[in-house]
Structure 1
Amino acid sequence: MSVTVSFSSSSTDPTSIAIEEEVDRIKNDEISTCELIKDQLFEVGPRYTDLKYIGEGAYGMVVSGSDNQTCQRVAIKKLSPFEHQCFCQRTLREIKILARLKHENVINIQDIIRSNVFEQMKDIYLVQQLMECDMYKLIKHQKLSSEHVCYFLYQILRGLKYIHSANVLHRDLKPSNLLLNKNCHLKICDFGLARIADPSFDHSGVLTEYVSLV
């Protein structure tokens, strides 16, 4: 069984040696495909290949990849939550919430990749739709027209109305959690801090009035 590994640079420092040893371990374990992106090992093959770096935050790295089943580019978020209980809870919460949300203005999970052996489970990969940028990057580099502002606000409110109708509170809505594509379609993402609201509680005095306007 072949293994495809791409190295961004060659080095003889201890970190590189450890990474090479990890790659050798994967070869010996006959894991189908892995790729190295900025010293992060992605074990997502053979379905997902041709990985390209997008960005990273406190909870993991995001790359784009080719889905060899659908022939489309997707976003793959690598999470390594098992060292801290709060990270585990955040990851589980996001997966459980996104699994129940299906809306064109909310990011969804297309696939989840993990080790088949529980004792070897160190990372989890969430496969989602690929979006070109986020709102933070967009407004940082250009001024939006009034038409764009109205269209983006409309999509945000549609997404929030749907989220709230499912008794979910996002609790971390900000420009970097609003993903956009080249057609100006918007999706709300990152539900790691979200909570399930009590359906018996009247939130009309808590949620702002825009929910009833969409």
Structure 2
Amino acid sequence: MRFKRLVRILIATVVDLCYGYTIYIVQCLMETDLYKLLKTQKLSNDHVCYFLYQILRGLKYIHSANVLHRDLKPSNLLLNTTCDLKICDFGLARVTDPQTDHTGFLTEYVATRWYRAPEIMLNSKGYTKSIDVWSVGCILAEMLNNRPLFPGKHYLDQLNLILAVVGSPSNEDLQCIINDKARSYLISLPHKPKQPWSRLYPGADPRALDLLDKMLTFNPHNRIDIEQALAHPYLEQYYDPGDEPVCEEPFTLEMEFDDLPKERLKELIWEEAEAHHKRVMAEQARNAGAPNV
């Protein structure tokens, strides 16, 4: 995996190894994570902006591969001493095929509750890449004042905390909820007005709050997407579409590796290591034959 905003697996040269030997996976050293950092210090607006850009840039690559991360949270964002950020822990990630109905496929537990999009809890009509955008919005809010925005103690508490901030859903919002009980529950609640972000985060960059508002939109169909978020004025000092890679070969459902036996997983890692070195050797051969310019 060559994209530097994701945890990179370093594949050592394979020499005189055979099946049955121990296989080691080496990763880049990252000294801390965002969760630990937010426990110890207040971030400047420059740090918030830079970290957010790196998160979105990495997520653009992930989504271009037809993959949902589904568990974005501060502890899954690794940091080093030069403020490089990498996204890790793809244990709950799933392939999403735009041509396939995932309503039943994507119903199992996803995301730590505090960062979970409302459509997951309300059993909406499937879900999309917008669930990761919601999680990033929650992370942005946490970077602004070092406190989780929606620290729900249980399912209903989580939902009520969300509504207390973003306000009661509109009739249009309710249409995307297929669970009758969930829809009836929302309708039965007293009307809750939307809270001004400037009141929740006084002193924050207004552009950051505008982007936060677009990320934490209740209706996933109206929520900002990754490319729109990257192009937002808050991130203009970093935005560079030419330096925001996408995956050359999107994943497919056949490429998921859930519940594989350990030995089969080792075989797949071995095969990937061999394929990687064949690609490296082929690239080196091409470069060796290229004329000097």
Q: Which has the higher contact order (CA 8 A, sep 6+)?
A: 2
TM-score w.r.t. the length of structure 1 is 0.45
In terms of fraction of residues, the more helix-rich structure is: 2
TM-score w.r.t. the length of structure 2 is 0.34
Which protein is bigger by CA-based radius of gyration?
Answer: 2
